[in-house]
Amino acid sequence: MGLPLFWRPPPRKQPRFHYRDFPRIIFSDCESALRGDSRPIDRYLDNYLSYSNFEALEERQRGFHGANRVVVNATVTTKDNLSVRLWMKRLDDRGRWTPAPEWRDIPYYGQSAVMERPDDEVLFIRDVDRLLVEKVAHYERYDRVDKDERRLVEASCQLVNAVFWLTVPPQAEPLEVRSPFDAPSYAGLRTAPWRDDLTQEFAVESTLEFVSFVNELRRAEKRLPIPQGSFPAKASDLEKLVKEARSARARQQRRPPPASDSASE
């Protein structure tokens, strides 16, 4: 007697995940990065001056050959891998990422061959998704992580962090890596008049100093700085930032202080 047409074989039971099984992949990729194995981006980094727009560099820093601007973009991909790539971009006055003018058209940017890593990638480590706090908490919730596995997770996190700082900054430093949280220059912009009553409240004495204060509040909350196009040029613009500063400061004051490493005497 044959099987009915709608019959399907039962699904195979997935083997239980153990944290003991995955570090070898992370260790292998970290070892490759520290060893300096060849990557597609190397041939471009070695000749980055060929892609420099010297006229834009001169306009940016008169009489000085400044470095080109890049942003390090580190993400966890949909396949749970860490991909660190170089963006030849800058933050415009509307808070959007646009190509940095110090660079000419770069042939590798955003391109890669099928089944190959992107040409603008400087670091690639597989399976880092397993190190994320929420994933570890998920397995701990079901008692699937023992003390030895927790030590492996901690060691793997420390290794990934160490490999990033040992490899990425030295390679990108000549290109002047910029943090997306670095404030743009506000020099020469129209400035709203400063109010004396705000000096006592915020301990600053000018609109420019107040904008720097607001940017520090934004940085503490991992928010981008005030773009040039939103710099307070009118009293109404300044009042909006005052409200933002009051709200942000109140939120941060309500946060519990970080736990001290050593017990107080």
Q: What is the pLDDT of residue 13?
A: 54
**What does the mean pLDDT of the chain come to?**
77
Domain ranges of the chain: 23-175, 196-253
Q: Per residue in 141-175, pLDDT tens?
A: 665 667 777 788 788 888 998 999 888 888 777 67
For residues 139 and 193, the model is more confident at 193
Q: Per residue in 222-245, pLDDT tens?
A: 787 887 778 899 999 999 999 999
Q: What is the pLDDT of residue 71?
A: 81
Q: Per residue in 56-73, pLDDT tens?
A: 766 665 544 456 677 888
Residue indicated by tokens 């041939």 = 43
The answer to whether residues 231 and 186 touch, using CB atoms and an 8 Å cutoff, is yes
Instruction: Write down the pTM of the prediction.
Output: 0.56
Query: Minimal CA–CA distance to 156: which of 121, 122, 132, 123?
Result: 132
For the stretch 106-111, contacts whose Cβ atoms lie closer than 8 Å and that sit 24 or more positions apart, written own/partner, are: 106/44, 106/51, 107/44, 108/40, 108/41, 108/44
Residue 138: phi and psi, rounded to 5, are -65, -45
SS (H, E, C) the chain: CCCCCCCCCCCCCCCCCCCCCCHHHHHHHHHHHHHCCCCCCHHHHCCHHHHECHHHHHHHCCCCCCCCCEEEEEEECCCCCEEEEEECEEECCCCCEEECCCECCCCCCCCCCCCCCCCCEEEEECCHHHHCHHHHHHHHHCCCCCHHHHHHHHHHHHHHHHHHHHHHHHHHHHHCECCCCCCCCCCCCCCCCCCHHHHHHHCCCCHHHHHHHHHHHHHHCCCCCCCHHHCCCCHHHHHHHHHHHHHHHHHHHHCCCCCCCCCCC
Q: What is the pLDDT of residue 154?
A: 82
